[in-house]
Amino acid sequence: MRLVAERDSAGQMPALAASSLNLPALAPSIWAFVVADAASFGIFFAVFSSERSVQAAQFAQSAAKLDIRLGLFNTLVLITSSWLVAHALAAARRNNVMGARRLLAGALGVASLFAVCKAFEYSTKVSHGLTPLTNEFFSFYYVLTGVHLLHYAIGFVALLYIRNSVLADGDVDARKLNWLQSGALYWHLVDLLWVFLFPMLYLQRAL
Amino acid sequence: MDNRFRYLRACAWGGPILLLVTIIFWGIFGHNVPPFSADQSADAIAEQFRPLAQRIKLGMVVELPFSALYLTWGVAITKLMEEIELDNNVLSTLQLWGAGLTTMIFVIPCAGWLGVTYRAETMPSWALQMIYDMWWILFDLAYALTTLQMIPLGICLLSDKRAVPLFPRWMGWFSIWVGLMFFLESFMSFFKGGPFSRSGILNYWTEFTLFFAFMALVSFYLLKAIGRLERETRLGAPRG
């Protein structure tokens, strides 16, 4: 496996490597986690749908109490953040460490809005007396978004670590790229799960 | 003759043996497949529990001493992790503590449920329900102690530098994932019925299936890895 694009005697990156590290396509082992996790959310969604079919009216009425604008805002936040992470990976593949770091900082900055919005949303709901014990729908709402928030928090810390430690200095090598690829894959999972959660929870009345 | 793997295989077999005993004695004899639903009244639970008390007692009496095998299994995993660890033994130490404390999570609730059977006939229904509930809450909500075992194990397996790792890499992620999935148990104390309750599809059927699958898969690859390490040692391969 080619680890680092070697520089020539003048210290310049070879023509091919300057534009792309051309590292072999890796299949990070985190795929195992991503697949298992997506499958577990698949179970959550199936259980949710089954409960919803039994109590369709309650679910629709409760969903109407969620603010679609906040859900949509968070969807856009996560998609934008994921897009920035994808660009950070592309920058790293070109051995542009500073660019990758800047893009990751942007992704984290945008992603932090998700937590702020979620904190606002939770506190508003609780202040209106809508808690996990209100009814079945809100039990699901808090559990599913809570578990997703845990995923988000882990992903946020992982991306922060990748930006500040893994990509702290030096050229991009296979190890660093593997870290970034794994972090990016995980972050896309966080994004993808939310893209399913948003219509399932917030757009009930429209379904 | 120097053999750093002496006793290791015997310790590792503790896992599969305990798994089998748990399914039969804690699960079937102990009437825990699934447990009594929490959305029933105290009288309803007591009425179902009392005729089964002797059977449940037998289940717990057998499960209790066998629970110690979780620790022998944890020690075997620790020794394997030490073959992977590079700089220090932080991960294997955390894993060992996690396994040791999980052993207590087998022992203490089982003793509690055994306690319910001790005077089941004369015990008021509310007391029977309260004690039964209390040990289920400990059993489920102390999950972080097992997560303490699973996540360090997963990280360690992922850091294996061998060309062919001792455990497949996906096992490292599986271990981390199961450890994190236990977080769902936090919601168990909020619900008496439904998927998040102690007998629900998520917090019982899914979580326990994952835990048992974790024990089975780790045991399988652990025994396989011990065999490989023993062979490598016999052939004089350098450590790590």
pLDDT in tens, B154-175: 999 999 999 999 999 999 999 9
Question: Which distant-in-sequence residues (6+ apart) come within 8 Å of B51 by Cβ?
Answer: none
Give which of B168, B176, B169, B165 is closest to B214, Cα–Cα. B176
Q: Domains in chain B: how many in total?
A: 1
- Expressed as residue numbers, the domain containing B110 is 18-228
Residue B208 touches chain A, beta carbons under 8 Å: no
Q: Is residue A175 part of a domain?
A: yes
Q: What is the distance between the alpha carbons of residues B38 and B45, in angstroms, rounded to a whole number?
A: 8
Q: Is residue A173 part of a domain?
A: yes
Which domain CATH number covers A94?
Answer: 1.20.120.80
Taking the mean position of all CA atoms in its chain, how far away is CA B51? Answer: 28
* Cα Rg of chain B, angstroms: 20
Question: Which distant-in-sequence residues (6+ apart) come within 8 Å of A193 by Cβ?
Answer: A38, A41, A148, A151
User: Which residues in chain A have their CB less than 8 angstroms from residue B183's CB?
Assistant: 147, 150
Q: What is the distance between the alpha carbons of residues A130 and A201, in angstroms, rounded to a whole number?
A: 14
Q: What is the distance between the alpha carbons of residues A155 and A161, in angstroms, rounded to a whole number?
A: 10
Contact B170 A51 (CB under 8 A): no
pTM given for the model? 0.86
B239, pLDDT greater than 90: no
A188-195 average pLDDT score: 96
Q: What is the distance between the alpha carbons of residues B156 and B77, in angstroms, rounded to a whole number?
A: 11
Q: Is residue A107 part of a domain?
A: yes
Contact A37 B176 (CB under 8 A): no
Judge whether B46 and B122 are in contact, CB under 8 Å.
Answer: no
Q: Is residue A60 part of a domain?
A: no
User: Which residues in chain B have their CB less than 8 angstroms from residue A158's CB?
Assistant: none
- Expressed as residue numbers, the domain containing A201 is 67-206
Token duo for residue A140: 């699901």
- ipTM, two decimals, is 0.77
Q: What is the pLDDT of residue A18?
A: 39
- Type of residue numbered A141: Y
A25, pLDDT greater than 60: no
Choose from A1, A26, A29, A149 for mutation: most chain B CBs within 10 A: A29
User: Which residue is associated with the tokens 């007692």?
Assistant: B57
Contact B195 A51 (CB under 8 A): yes
Confidence of residue A187 (pLDDT cuts 50, 70, 90): very high
For the stretch A67-109, pLDDT in tens is 999 999 999 999 999 999 999 999 999 999 999 999 999 999 9
Judge whether A78 and A59 are in contact, CB under 8 Å.
Answer: no
Contact A40 B181 (CB under 8 A): yes
Scored b (16 or more CB within 10 A) or e, A6-21 reads eeeeeeebeeebeeeb
Neighbours of B187 (CB within 10 A): 22
Q: Domains in chain A: how many in total?
A: 1
Q: Is residue B27 part of a domain?
A: yes
For the stretch B135-155, pLDDT in tens is 999 999 999 999 999 999 999
Q: Is residue A122 part of a domain?
A: yes
Which percentage of chain B shows pLDDT scores above 70? 98
